[in-house]
Structures are given as C-alpha cells and as structure tokens.
A and B are shown apart, each in its own frame.
Chain A
C-alpha cells in the first residue's frame, strides 16, 4: 500500500462531525453570471500577514491579484512541492481567471480565504466561529459559489 493510501486508510478511521441533515441550496442563476471564490485549507498567506500558529482556527484573506503566497501548513504528512511548482495545484486562482475570461463563470471574487487544515478534532471553532465569520465575508463580497480545496 502506498504512503498516501495508508494515510487515507488511517484518516478514514478517525471520528468526524456527522450531520443528520445536509445544508443545501441551489445556485439560482446561470453559472456564467455567478461570482466564484476559493476557500482552501492549505494555510496560505501573504508574506506580510500573520503566520499560522501550530493550532490556528483563523483564516487569512487573499486578494484576487495575490500570487506570491506562503504555505504555512504545519503538517509534515503531505507534499508541499506541488505548491512550490505551481500554486494552482492547491489554489487554482489562474484557472478561475481563465474560466471567467471564457465566460464559463461570471466573475472571480475580489477576495479568497485560507484556513489551516490541521484543526482540533471536533472542528467546533471553525464550525461555530471562524467558519461563519468567513462566510459573512464571502456574502459581503456577493460571492455565489465557493470552491473548497482541501489540504
């Protein structure tokens, strides 16, 4: 079994929050008119922003034009070189710009957001505090669709 496969197998045994219902909504407009943002758990930030602490429930705001980003993730268990080679493999901001230019999506959001993927086991802080706070920022930017990229 590969290392990635064994890590996936181990992760599958860990307890996670389970929900009896699923929050669901429909887009309500054509995708070609929708504004799209990225939210990643890769702990990305600009060099001048606060670094992510070992346990950091917060998020960092990334501007649409930002390309020089730091991966501040603390986990040694996954590859970081893909990001060094091409940030789009984690944070596909150039792909979103291309989709907007081609008319597939309506617009690229002015801000995108990064959390750290390593969180307390219950994820309660993100669920009850910083997650809703980030969602409010997205709503304030009139974002219709969020693309989540997990790391």
Chain B
C-alpha cells in the first residue's frame, strides 16, 4: 500500500510489493535479500526525503500447498483430532530442526487435539458458553492450531519454498482442522458471540 507510505511521509522508504509477511521478498534467497537491503541503504545518500520502489514484484501463491495429510486412524474421534495427532511427529521434527516454535500464544502442541475437539463440538451444536476451550482465547487458539499445522507442513515439504499463501490455502481448504476452525467460526457467529471472538479466527478474506 504505497498510498500509506506517501501519506505518512517517512524520511526514506523502499516500497516493496512482496508477499505480506515476507518483507525481504524471498525466503532462502540470500542474493535477493541482500539486493533489497542494498537498495534500501542507497537511500542514505539522498539529501531530502525519498520514496523509491523496488523494481521486482513478488506475487503470493494462493494454490494450496501439496502436502501429505495423515490417513484416518481412529474413527472414535473427530477427523480433525485424528489428523492433528497424525501430524505430531512432523511437528516434533520441525521443532527439533528449528529449536523453537511459534505455537504457544494460548496453547502448546499437546493441547491442539483437545482444542480441536472443542471447536468440533461448537461446530456441531454445542454452545461456546457451555463448553470451554483450552486456552480460552478463540483467536489465539486458532492461530496456534494453524501454526502447529504450518510448522509440521514445512517439515513435510522440506527442500521446497512454498509461496506466500500456499500454506494458508492448504490449511483452510485441504485439512480437517482448517475446516473445523471455519465451521466453529460460523457457529460462533450464528450463536451471536462477540465479533472479535470469531472474526479473527481466520484471515479476513475468508
């Protein structure tokens, strides 16, 4: 949104039309990242406020990631719970490889199946006021579930560099957990839960 930059008039800005969430444009591309930084540093030579535009546009990829999803294993639990349990090994490998996880806003990885169980109950008729969600905060819990899946997915597709919205599309369009989050979100809306409780459980465009 270059219009915002123009209105706020910062002293020096390099406007980059890259995928949202990737301000340096391309993960695992040191040459490209360095070029972006050097273009920014060149603005230090300006003698008055300057707004430059990076000449390359990097588009997001909205095609769902091609990533394996565990087969159904335990018919006695909701599909999303079964699926989340099946992804645990990949999540653990990702955690071991990176040394840290961004899961933990409200719940940790151990709580993901139980949280999905409650979202499933909400989606199938239970009242959000009667059935308590582990972690309580619907937005944070939904984000933690998505992060758990995305970190597992990045491990399962290791060696590739998915585009900017590929993992989001995979989560919401291909996984049982994504469908459960969306169904619970709709249920909260229908139960007239406060707007911030349900709206921010998923990206605004969904």
Contact = CB atoms under 8 A, between A and B. Distances in A.
B102 A80 contact: yes
B62 A2 contact: yes
A96 to B, nearest CB: 8
Say what secondary structure dominates the interface of chain B.
loop
B202 A83 contact: no
A77 interface: yes
B60 A12 contact: no
B9 A8 contact: no
Interface residues of A, number: 59
Interface stretch (A19-27, A57-65, A107-115, A132-140): A19-27
Among A12, A22, A80, A90: residue with most chain B CB under 10 A: A80
A22 B22 CA distance: 27
Contact of B154 (A8, A78, A84, A90): A84
Interface in B143-170: 143, 146-147, 150-151, 153-154, 161-162, 164-168
Contact of A85 (B11, B48, B161): B161
B132 interface: no
Interface residues of B, number: 64
Interface stretch (B35-43, B68-76, B113-121): B35-43
Given A74-B139, A76-B203, A145 B41 contact: yes
Interface stretch (B26-34, B78-86, B187-195): B26-34
Given A3-B62, A54-B140, A79-B22, 14 more contacts: A4-B20, A7-B205, A26-B44, A70-B102, A74-B143, A76-B143, A79-B21, A79-B60, A80-B147, A83-B21, A89-B25, A89-B26, A89-B27, A145-B44
Interface of B: 1, 3-4, 7-11, 19-28, 30, 33-34, 37-38, 40-41, 44, 47-49, 59-60, 62, 94, 98-102, 104-105, 137, 139-140, 142-143, 146-147, 150-151, 153-154, 161-162, 164-168, 200-205
Interface of A: 2-4, 6-12, 14, 16-19, 22-27, 31, 40, 47, 51, 54, 68-72, 74, 76-86, 88-90, 92, 94-96, 98-99, 104-105, 145, 147, 149-151
